[in-house]
Copies of this chain bind each other. A is one copy, B any other.
């Protein structure tokens, strides 16, 4: 499979003042065209830096994409670096000047001298028209490797990639395509999950299988390389089925699907509604649920019961429970879940109470101790989570909200019967 390097140029990127989203976008586009991104390099606007990396890139890559450094100001060096790498002079490109004059004319302005510098391209290079800005892109061939320099502004870069880069490099892909898919799981620790699918993760496999972890969600990504899209998708389907067979209901979604979305689909399928009662998560569970478009079909609302009086007066948690067990306790989590379901007349209620830290922990009830209550039409269940007394507040809150969603998701799977739990959920591949 053909290999690409992606280079982004910008002092603000390398100093971390802006986040480079261009490289990831280009890598995904390349994958779709059957070209594998092998390296991203981010450089400051310093003379010589791009030249050096470019010469190394063409030794290892079949294609080089560069973003940034094509603007009209002092620190825009890309055109000079390309010319230096080629050992040629810069020349004004007549078509680019004409296009620039037309761009400014529609805005009632004239290009400045600084703008006209943007029409300079290395001798023998090709200018790439910019449909939404002033700087043309530049295509050179260095030691036989095509290199495309694109603007750093994402909208201009994306339009130019689609118009001038994708059509040419499609022919580079030479028969192979790369297709990717990610399965999302909750509930199996990463090390255990890894050991259950260790054979699938073996180096050199096709599809390649790897894992990523974030706040209790373990993602399993699969990259398949094949001669055709259909063959790659078939390989992904086979591996997906195998992983689902081994991990069962821990798999909740594919690609862009979220845990809240999976839970919502369960509610929708069952024709049931949900209400929440949140203490330490303070609204985060509701925010995750309503981040899904269409969630109003099953989510009624909830109570953020940060103060104990709200738990008692609004949710009807008995004062005696609060006194005997404390606000962070199994019975209070259950009573909160029931209270939310009753007050909002929902079929299911979820309650969360815990200690998100960094202060407020005790030896008996340390930071990271969270109770989740799940009230169903039939019963109320409670879950104890120990999320780590040294874990950051954000991690504890996110994990607690996700654990609550997952408890409801599994409950809905179970009450829908074994067939629903085993069947691979339908998904929309990327």
Chain B residues lying within 8 Å of A49, measured Cβ to Cβ, are: 39
Residues A282 and B293 in contact, CB atoms below 8 Å apart? no
Chain B residues lying within 8 Å of A304, measured Cβ to Cβ, are: 276, 283, 286, 290, 301-304
Residues B115 and A191 in contact, CB atoms below 8 Å apart? yes
| With A11-B208, A17-B28, A17-B212 as contacts: A394 and B155 at CB distance below 8 Å | yes
A227 CB–B CB distance under 8 Å: no
User: Interface code A387-416, partner B: CB below 8 Å = 1, 0 otherwise?
Assistant: 011111111010000000000000000000
| With A12-B212, A314-B343 as contacts: A191 and B42 at CB distance below 8 Å | no
User: Interface code A112-150, partner B: CB below 8 Å = 1, 0 otherwise?
Assistant: 111100000000000000011010000000000000000
Shortest distance from the beta carbon of A171 to any chain B beta carbon, whole Å: 21
Q: Considering the chains assembled together, what is the distance between the CA atoms of A380 and B24 in angstroms?
A: 45
Residues A300 and B307 in contact, CB atoms below 8 Å apart? yes
Shortest distance from the beta carbon of A18 to any chain B beta carbon, whole Å: 6
User: Interface code A12-25, partner B: CB below 8 Å = 1, 0 otherwise?
Assistant: 11111111110111
Q: How large is the interface on A (under 10, 10 to 19, 20 to 34, 35 or more residues)?
A: 35 or more
Interface segment among A81-89, A194-202, A231-239, A245-253: the answer is: A194-202
| With A74-B201, A283-B302, A286-B304 as contacts: A189 and B21 at CB distance below 8 Å | no
A271 CB–B CB distance under 8 Å: no
Residues B15 and A37 in contact, CB atoms below 8 Å apart? yes
Query: Taking beta carbons and an 8 Å cutoff, which residues of A are in contact with B?
Result: 10-21, 23-28, 31, 36-45, 47, 49, 71-75, 103, 106-109, 111-115, 131-132, 134, 152-153, 155, 159, 180, 182, 189-192, 194-195, 198, 201-203, 208, 210-214, 219, 221, 223, 276, 278, 280-291, 293-296, 299-307, 309-310, 314, 343-345, 356-359, 366, 386, 388-395, 397
Additional A-B contact list (4), CB under 8 Å, known A131-B390, A155-B395, A309-B345: A71-B190, A152-B212, A286-B304, A296-B307
